[in-house]
Amino acid sequence: MASASESGGSQQPPGKSSGQKSETIEEMVGRLKLTAAESRKIVIDDREESKAPSWALAGRILVPPPKVYHINTICAALRPAWGNPKGLIFIDGGPNMFVAELASERDKDRIWERSPWTVNKHAVVLEDYQSCRRPSELKFDRLLIWVRILDLPRNMINTNWGMKIAADVGNEVVKVDTSNKYSGQYLRARVFIDVNEPLRRWVAIDSTLREACDWYELQYEDLPYFCFSCGLLGHSATLCLNPAERDENDEWPYGSRLRAADDIKFKAPPMAGGSSFTGYQHRGGMANAQTGNRGSMRLVVRRIHRQPVAVGVDARLVREADILIRCTVS
């Protein structure tokens, strides 16, 4: 049976190098004279076998070498974070990679909806996975994340312009959230960003009404570990292979200002029992402060209790479960 474990068990890291190797082999096959045995094809009707499991995700943890997370560590971090869905199985996919088999599409969609995930604050880059995919076809090059475009004029905070602006920021726009139009004056967009490129810090918008081209600051929600020197996810400035110079204020080109103020998300407690989660609601924070907006909404947060955070488990998940939100309009 062609299972995810067979495909995911390769020690060859999927990615650019793998893709190049696969391409080289194809070129080689086309160039060389094959023997009779090599020319013989094996015809396999694997449609029936590929029916189960139908729902799976492949993932890679972005960590600098030689750091390698054991599959048990990955499992210990992500299983409770994902709410321990029924039928979840983690399979070792090579160094810092895994395949997670799920029993239902709903579980998979919920995991996608709450991306990005982390293991010890290192980003988990996910891809939909089918057992018929070759390991070299997995690129792990996109991270689904919420990005905020700050201090936008209200006339730009709508779906039409939001999609256009977000498309410039991310590789692919999933949706935009314009609910902050009158409170925070920033646009939220759910986008895939390229993990092989530095985080975008700004976006330039040339407005006819404003008769000017302005730069707008970007912030990311639940941003995993990234390098303040080069802006890439997955390593620190002290381990950067391409360190940048600090500016006259002795600061790196990238910094914590890329992290959005802590959001309050109206989600179910860590996906327990397969309960569905709802959307998001922001709280007034950094964006309001930066825009100078007096903030039409003020949220009061009170912790009810606090549970110990297990090793490797994202503290964000504990926080989300334990937060009581009371909104007051000021």
Interaction site with Zn ion (CB under 5 A): 227, 229-230, 240
Q: Give me the least distance between CB of 214 and Zn ion, in Å please.
A: 28
Q: Which is nearer to Zn ion, 57 or 227 (CB)?
A: 227
Q: Give me the least distance between CB of 233 and Zn ion, in Å please.
A: 9
What is the sign, positive or negative, of the torsion defined by CA atoms of 208, 210, 213, 219?
negative
Q: Which is nearer to Zn ion, 100 or 230 (CB)?
A: 230
Pairing outcome for strands 122-128 and 55-61? antiparallel
Q: Give me the least distance between CB of 201 and Zn ion, in Å please.
A: 14
Q: Give me the least distance between CB of 198 and Zn ion, in Å please.
A: 8
Tokens of 157: 């905070």
- 3-class DSSP state for residue 324? strand
Q: Which is nearer to Zn ion, 2 or 241 (CB)?
A: 241
Distances (CA, A) of 217 to 179, 260, 280, 311, 316: 18, 11, 21, 34, 24
Tokens of 286: 């950094």
Q: Which is nearer to Zn ion, 52 or 241 (CB)?
A: 241
Q: For residue 253, say if its preceding peptide bond is cis, omega within 30 degrees of 0.
A: no
Q: Give me the least distance between CB of 253 and Zn ion, in Å please.
A: 10
Q: Which is nearer to Zn ion, 208 or 256 (CB)?
A: 256
Q: How far apart are CA 296 and CA 225, in angstroms?
A: 32
